[in-house]
Amino acid sequence: MIHRAIYGSIDRFFGIIVEHFGGAFPTWLAPVQVKIIAIADRHAEYAWKVASTLKQKGLRVEVDDRQRSTNYKIREAQMEKIPYMLIVGDMEQSAGTVAVRLRNETDLGSTPLEEFSKKVLSEIRDRSLESPFE
């Protein structure tokens, strides 16, 4: 441990934060706030469109459009402790919605993208420790 440098106190602070939250940071502090998971290749374009919309609103977003099973991608996002997963498939694409899933395995079902983004942006603005969806 470095204890005679300005970085020492910053390192300790980050250590305390990581330990306190166990890596499951609140949305406003999470490096990746939303992961968009495309069920199949044909949904990738819609997933990137959703990502672009959310990025324009200031959210930190990643898209997982790999050719892996949906369950694998969801599990991987849960292990990364990403606060929100948006699953997009045929139904979501045709309706212009997203299926919202929380990192604690809660499945919230289909939600309009605008409604989702408003709630998450409000959560970030308020620096809330709780999800508005719980």
- In the prediction, which pLDDT does 5 show? 61
Percent of the chain with pLDDT over 70: 95
Cα separation, 2 vs 19, whole angstroms: 18
Structural domain boundaries of the chain?
34-125
Cα separation, 75 vs 35, whole angstroms: 12
- At position 19, the amino acid (one-letter code) is E
For the stretch 60-112, pLDDT in tens is 999 999 999 999 999 999 999 999 999 999 999 999 999 999 999 999 999 99
Domain covering 34-125, topology? Rossmann fold (3.40.50)
- In the prediction, which pLDDT does 82 show? 98
Alpha helix ranges (H) inside 1-134: 6-21, 44-56, 70-79, 90-95, 113-125
Cα separation, 20 vs 43, whole angstroms: 37
Q: What is the mean pLDDT of the chain?
A: 93
